Structure 1
Amino acid sequence: MASAIPSIRIKRVYAAAEAEDGARVLVDRLWPRGISKARAALDLWFKEIAPSPGLRAWFHQDPAHWPAFAERYRAELDRHPAAVEQLAEFARKGRLTLIYAAHDPEHNHALVLADYLRACLAEA
């Protein structure tokens, strides 16, 4: 019998923290503007799992680059299995909420990361 895939959600850092968020992990390389550490209510700021500075600058939240960005970011994640495993451990313990600051809820790296983690956990 296969085990259920842990719950992984994404949420903007500017939205209020809630008890049902579970573990809250900021997955941005840069600290979000105007947010205090107390308001962010994070369990971890995991800069290392964010897209590389070069990839982030190239994408610059341009929806036209979205498919290529997602592919390139997945390739970066493939090269960092220890970091992915560290994040997967949070998900195995209960609900995991990936926190991000990008304005676009449909074109951001947290979406790619959440899908990548779900796939990794489904394979395990």
Structure 2
Amino acid sequence: MRWRRLRKEPVITKGAFDSQCGDDDDLLTGGAGADTFKLSYGLSFSWSGWFPSISFTNSGNDTITDFNASEGDIIELDMTGILDGFSNSSVLSFDSTTSELSLGNTVLATLEGVTSFDVSNVVFV
């Protein structure tokens, strides 16, 4: 049996034009204590004749309003279909000027008020 520490789920505030939380640009607020903020990044496949077209998709540039690593906050990055078992955070970067967390050239989230971020606070699932 595998035990997992339970974490309080963050509040998701939908954007004005969102039809479903988790898509596009969402506002994520966790509050006090250890929070888990869930982001996703995946693959999209399509065919043109005999040739496949592969593109990367993400859930938009979400804004996390109160990320605080000292409270135990983490970010879960769902990379379903991409490099199964991949856990190397070396592909992640954080821009302390813009507070943006990126995977390669794709911005995943803006961490409001954060000027320093350790990418080991991101868990690949």
TM-score by structure 1 length? Answer: 0.29
User: Greater relative contact order (Cα 8 A, min sep 6): structure 1 or 2?
Assistant: 1
Which structure shows the bigger proportion of residues in helix conformation? 1
**Bigger Cα Rg:** 2
Which structure shows the bigger proportion of residues in strand conformation? 2
